[in-house]
Structure 1
Amino acid sequence: MVWWLAIGVYSRNLDIQSQLDENWGCSDNIVSSLSIIIKRLRWPDANIFYEAQGNEIVLNTLRYIEQDLVGFQTTVFDMTGISPPDTENMLRQIYQKKIKGVRIILFLSNTTLELLEIANTFDSRSNKTTNYRTSSSWIILSSSMFKRPFLDIQLRNIIVLTCYRDLVEHFTISDGKITTIDCLIHHHTPATGPKIENCSADLLFPNIKYRYSNHHVLIGTLESNFLQKHVDKYNNTVYSGVVVELSDMLAKHLNFTFTFVQPSDDKYGGKSSDGKWQGLVGLLVREEVDMVIADFSITEERSKIVDFILPPFTRNTWSALSNRGIQRESNWTKIFRPLNAYVYIAILATVVVVAILLLLVQTNSPEANCSHCLRPWNCVISILNNALFLISFVTARGDGVSTKKASVRVLVAFLSMFCIVLTGVYLGNLTAALTDTKYHKPFNSLEELVELPDWKWGIRGYSLSKKILKNSKNNVMMKIWKGLEEFNKTDPSIFDIDINVHVNRILTEGEKYVYFGFGAESQILNRNDCALQIVDSILSNFQTAIAVTKNSYLKPDLESAMAKLSDTGFLTMLDETIYKDNRPQHCKNRDTKRPLRLEDVLGAVSLASVGLATAIFVLIIEKCQQHNKLSLHQFNEYNFSIWR
């Protein structure tokens, strides 16, 4: 977008003088060149700055543009008598109204040169809210060649049009260098007129494509799972991690260089007792850095004093982290783990019932002399013998079992199928149990934790975690904060800023310690063991985003860049990198194994029940047959005795 800058509203009712200033002898040619450049750049509007002595060239320019550029809008300002403070205020207002960039046409004179000098250093005085250096585009019209004003200029996108007799010279100024625009060939002669050959916007303003043109940016950050720091063999500090990846991508996209700056207090940001902001927030508020890229969560309080760049680049969860509590069982206890206690009770009940049933069969068997079985003590012994037989039968799967009784054969058949199913299930789960490590949790919830007398917990001593706990109305959170205050009386390390201090305490043998805070999930996933676990993910609605100073000039460009990185999937890849699971495979598998319950082997139990019922039914039939045979035998004996 182009702005024509000039102080004071210009009136179209000014009288047009018949003669132009002699210094603007090639004014028509300059205006013609200006019109061609504007067309090539496709500027929709502009602001014009001029001084009263040059009002005629301004009128000539406006008249020509009005005729040649339909729809082109201009705002004209007279710089005559304008003080430097008013000039700065005007530049600030123009910058705030810009859409895609500030575009300026300047009629160079002594007064407008002062405006140019103010604009050249404006960014350093604007509290990092403007970026005239790279986001403004200037077309400067000069009545003659000059040497002085621009060799140390900071502004990056400048075209200068000057007169040399009837020839208009076109050149750019950047980094103290004056470069002729070779694609502009303007020979203003009646025969040929002005010409332009292959002049693109990139050639007219070559620095636009370089965006921030290697402007150096200070990035506030902190060491964490997002950023690691170490010293190489050449004694140079080297950074790595997702913060570096994101910073490199933004620097490449916007073309800036950067240096990481860490706050001296190693805090994320909170207010001190005297009301001053500390940590990363303090660096932004004091404008000691241009932006913050870290595991820096978006909060309402922070949003009031800094601007967050959306979309966020990752998520964050406030969790409770503890030792996973590995306990290896001995092999003799593992053999009981595959089955639930109720399954063992059901098996025992089956054995007892079948033993009693076998006793009844034996008692009523004509082949066996069991008159002594009716005695109480002998009944108990018989039941125990049958039970031992059945136990051996279960383990041997029925080998060596033979009987003439049909009821017993039916019972054995169903019992054999019951044993096959149950034994197969047991052996499969026993194999899994013998190769599995049992993880034991000393507590399953925060409610249980706060009631344990010998446990401690800690947080990183920055304001966000403290605020979460202090302001919470939840009973458990209130107990956690009360515990922290009590622990701090004798153990200040529970508020240590370094998360590694808390993790080391968790992993210390014999230490009963829990950490509350951000980064718990990444702490677990970045390890190559199964030592840590999340007890509870308490708050999960925190998002991590880049932060800049309030109304920073970087905000629109960073938002545009982050939107593109989101659309291309880079932010998704970055999130996956942060939460990449580096643990061994057996750590990734959730411990979902449980002892088999009675309902899990319901088919086998039902099979045994059917067998028992069938055996009892056959036994009843056998008893009836035996009774009939006995009756018939007695009847025959009776008749035989009568016959005799």
Structure 2
Amino acid sequence: MTAAGTVLPCLRIGLVIYFPYMTFNIVGEPRDYSGVMMEVNSIIAAKLNRCIEYVIAEHPTGGVQTANGSWIGAVGLLLDHDVDFVGVPTTVNDQRLKVVDYSVYVDMDKQVIIYKRPSLEANIAGFVKPFNKTVWALVAAALVLVCVATWFVYRSQDVLQAMKSRKTRDSNSNAWSTSCLWSIYVSLSQSSPWWPEGGALRVVAGTWMLMMLILATVYRSNLKAMLIIPKIRLPFNNMEEMLQTNIPCFVPLGSILHLLMEKAPPKSQLDRLKKQAVIHLDPPQAVRDIITGKYAAITNNHNINYVLNTAFEQTKSCQNYVADEAYITGFSASLGIPKHSPLTSKINRILESLQESGVIRQLYHNILPYAFICLRPESFRRPNNNLRPLELEDFYGVLSIYAGGTILAGLVLVLEFLTATIGISYRRDSKRCRSIP
């Protein structure tokens, strides 16, 4: 109502589906409007002292120009003067700017890729995961150092004892094998028939045994956790990797990416994407197909956050992952307004106030309480928020080492047997030769 007492007509606000800013049933009644912009549009109407009349676009898109030059979606509503403005932020591009105006940005957006979360695989190398490469290298270096130190002290004590008692010293090769085998036995927590004698040798041996006790305790305590943590192999993490697969990819009709695809030069990335692209204007169906993993999708980051939130609400787990590399960044989503409309400056002032006060951002987080759970790195370290039971594949690495050691031990046994047999035959032949006159 104005100062003169006249009643102003209701604001005709156009609506299109743009998750999570606006969602409703495409067909049937009731429409069940929901989203961030329901509250924002109410604030705008209250500031302008107007009531609201919602008008649904026939096609749920920000605006697509057809072959005959007409427009469908939000831009079509504006050009046909069916609405005073579009109460849902839509992407601003050059084609749309030629025919309509836009408010200040409601939010900045980017184009990212989403796909179903890959199935978990057993980590065959899990038995080496308790320590990183640096620790394993230091353990190996320490083993060599202890072997050399034990041999040196062992030989030194042997030389001193031989000088005092004038007995024959052990061979150098025997000292090497004794020292190295004992060091390996201790590192593997195995018993050894040799026991170090002498103060200096016992200090070296005791230090090594204490060190291996600590390392073995830490290793065993972390081994189970490392075996439970699975390996996650992502099908792709950027556009180029996705194009090397045969995974179909949803691209919304009329989006920035769709327009770029239409103008892409031959053999470029976007031209190759046409072979895998699934293009339509049915957002609810697209959400269902993305959650179930029917295909990947390249769309606005806000749409993808809505998909993640919806999937978590339904299953209490993260069903999809978002590629690290965004394809397009830094474009604005704003409210469409007819050219030279007197409402433009008024709506801009209201939106700027809402942005500066953080109201829009708070409404956004209230609508999507679970989306950001699936964007955290730990959501991959604990898939579906459940511990995974151990499987046979988790022990393939350990079993392969055990099998290799068994085969190696068998070969050594065969060689020892053959060597002993040859030695006995040689001694028998030597006795026969000496007995011949």
TM-score, structure 1 length as denominator? 0.49
Give structure 2 stretches of 5+ with no counterpart: 383-437
Answering whether residue 255 of structure 2 is matched by residue 459 of structure 1, we say no
Alignment partner of 2:298 out of 493, 496, 516: 516
One-letter identity of the residue aligned with 2:280:
D
2:393: which partner in 1? none
Of structures 1 and 2, the one with the larger relative CO (CA 8 A, separation 6+) is: 2
Answering whether residue 269 of structure 2 is matched by residue 480 of structure 1, we say yes
Equivalence map 1:433-472=2 (5 Å)? 433=226, 436=229, 438-450=231-243, 452-471=244-263
Q: Give the distance between the partners of 1:428 and 1:547, measured in 2 at CA.
A: 60
Give how far 1:391 is off: 1.6
Richer in strand (by share) = 1
Q: 1:256 to 1:588 in 2, by over 3 A?
A: farther
Q: Is the 1:219–1:260 contact (alpha carbons within 8 Å) kept by the matching residues of 2? A: yes
Q: 1:465 to 1:443 in 2, by over 3 A?
A: closer
Q: 1:556 to 1:401 in 2, by over 3 A?
A: farther
Alignment partner of 1:560 out of 349, 370, 374: 349
One-letter identity of the residue aligned with 2:59:
D
Q: 1:520 to 1:361 in 2, by over 3 A?
A: same
Answering whether residue 318 of structure 2 is matched by residue 530 of structure 1, we say yes
Equivalence map 1:22-421=2 (5 Å)? 205-206=4-5, 213=8, 215-222=10-17, 224-230=19-25, 236-310=30-104, 312-329=105-122, 333-341=125-133, 343-366=135-158, 371=169, 373-374=171-172, 378=174, 381-382=177-178, 385-392=181-188, 403-412=196-205, 414-415=207-208, 418-419=211-212
Larger gyration radius, structure 1 or structure 2:
1
Q: Give the distance between the partners of 1:400 and 1:503, measured in 2 at CA.
A: 68
Q: Is the 2:116–2:292 contact (alpha carbons within 8 Å) kept by the matching residues of 1? A: no
> What's the secondary structure of 1:283's corresponding residue?
helix
Q: Give the distance between the partners of 1:431 and 1:550, measured in 2 at CA.
A: 66
Q: Give the distance between the partners of 1:426 and 1:293, measured in 2 at CA.
A: 59
Give how far 1:438 is off: 4.4
> What's the secondary structure of 1:238's corresponding residue?
coil
Equivalence map 1:11-26=2 (5 Å)? none
One-letter identity of the residue aligned with 1:292:
V
Give how far 1:531 is off: 2.1
CA deviation string 1:346-373 (max 9, x = no partner): 4234324423442444344336988564
Give how far 1:289 is off: 2.0
Alignment partner of 2:330 out of 529, 541, 564: 541
Give how far 1:441 is off: 1.9
Q: 1:486 to 1:242 in 2, by over 3 A?
A: same
Q: Give the distance between the partners of 2:96 and 2:263, measured in 1 at CA.
A: 16
Q: Give the distance between the partners of 1:560 and 1:508, measured in 2 at CA.
A: 42
Q: 1:457 to 1:337 in 2, by over 3 A?
A: same
Q: 1:216 to 1:505 in 2, by over 3 A?
A: closer
Give how far 1:217 is off: 1.7
Q: 1:524 to 1:468 in 2, by over 3 A?
A: farther
Give how far 1:292 is off: 0.9
Give how far 1:436 is off: 4.6
Q: Give the distance between the partners of 2:101 and 2:14, measured in 1 at CA.
A: 14
Give how far 1:249 is off: 1.8
Q: Is the 1:284–1:549 contact (alpha carbons within 8 Å) kept by the matching residues of 2? A: yes
One-letter identity of the residue aligned with 1:547:
G
Give how far 1:343 is off: 3.6
Q: 1:502 to 1:347 in 2, by over 3 A?
A: farther
One-letter identity of the residue aligned with 1:260:
Y
Q: Is the 1:355–1:390 contact (alpha carbons within 8 Å) kept by the matching residues of 2? A: no
CA deviation string 1:484-514 (max 9, x = no partner): 33236xxxxx1122345445444546x6x43
Q: Give the distance between the partners of 2:375 and 2:168, measured in 1 at CA.
A: 60
Give how far 1:284 is off: 0.8
Give how far 1:423 is off: 5.1
Q: Is the 2:252–2:281 contact (alpha carbons within 8 Å) kept by the matching residues of 1? A: yes
Q: 1:547 to 1:287 in 2, by over 3 A?
A: same
1:498: which partner in 2? 282
Q: 1:282 to 1:381 in 2, by over 3 A?
A: same
> What's the secondary structure of 1:243's corresponding residue?
helix
TM-score, structure 2 length as denominator? 0.69
One-letter identity of the residue aligned with 2:299:
G
CA deviation string 1:70-105 (max 9, x = no partner): xxxxxxxxxxxxxxxxxxxxxxxxxxxxxxxxxxxx
One-letter identity of the residue aligned with 1:516:
I
